[in-house]
């Protein structure tokens, strides 16, 4: 049954994040596990930011992906332990940077990190001379920064 499990995992893991389509739910570490029993695949998902409207969308997308792969699908929402940006994989961080979004500098649950009081390197030129323009970027999960070296604005994926 290992093959079944791998097939189900691959299907669920390929689902892109609706807000940052360059990364998948597996890259973000949202997809915790997939188990297959009697043809029923259960995906265990941990929501990122609570209240993020993307959560329902992600659950539906993963369920659909599992169905398309030939499984009866179930979604289990795992709230504890809470998701942190530490769970973003190395590959996920690379993809974020390539997409022009500064990946979280360091996973932390502290309020300080959430409000962006960290040195954020520019995803384009790697300069650390950056300034925060706005607490909220294109989505509530991101803050907007500008690089004072190359002048480019960019999104920073906030640490939580
Ligand atoms: Zn720059």
Q: What is the structure's pLDDT at 128?
A: 85
Q: Is residue 110 part of a domain?
A: yes
Residue-number span of the structural domain to which 101 is assigned: 89-157
Q: Please, what are the averages of pLDDT over each run of 10 residues along the chain (160 residues)?
A: 91 90 91 95 86 80 97 94 89 89 64 56 88 76 88 81
Residues 67 and 109 in one domain: no
Q: Is residue 102 part of a domain?
A: yes
Three-class secondary structure of residue 40 per DSSP: strand
What is the total count of domains within the chain?
2
Q: Final residue of a domain: which of 13, 42, 77?
A: 77
CA of 36 to the centre of ligand 1 (A): 46
Residues 114 and 70 in one domain: no
CA of 99 to the centre of ligand 1 (A): 14
The span from the CA of 39 to the CA of 121, in Å, is: 46
Looking up residue 46, the CATH number of its domain turns out to be: 3.30.300.130
Strand pairing of 101-102 and 130-134? Answer: unpaired
Q: What is the structure's pLDDT at 118?
A: 64
């Amino acid at each position: 049954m290992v093959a079944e499990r791998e097939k189900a995992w691959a299907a669920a893991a390929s689902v892109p994040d609706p807000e940052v389509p360059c990364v998948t739910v597996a890259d973000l570490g949202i997809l915790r596990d997939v188990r297959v029993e009697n043809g029923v695949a259960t995906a265990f998902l941990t929501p990122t930011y609570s209240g993020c409207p993307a959560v329902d969308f992600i659950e539906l997308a993963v369920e659909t992906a599992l169905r398309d792969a030939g499984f009866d699908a179930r979604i289990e929402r795992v709230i504890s332990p809470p998701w942190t940006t530490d769970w973003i994989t190395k590959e996920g961080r690379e993809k974020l940077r390539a997409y022009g979004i500064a990946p979280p500098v360091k996973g932390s649950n502290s309020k300080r990190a959430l409000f962006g009081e960290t040195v954020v390197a520019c995803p384009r030129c790697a300069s650390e001379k950056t300034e925060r323009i706005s607490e909220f970027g294109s989505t509530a999960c991101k803050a907007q920064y500008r690089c004072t070296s190359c002048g480019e604005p960019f999104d920073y994926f906030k640490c939580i």
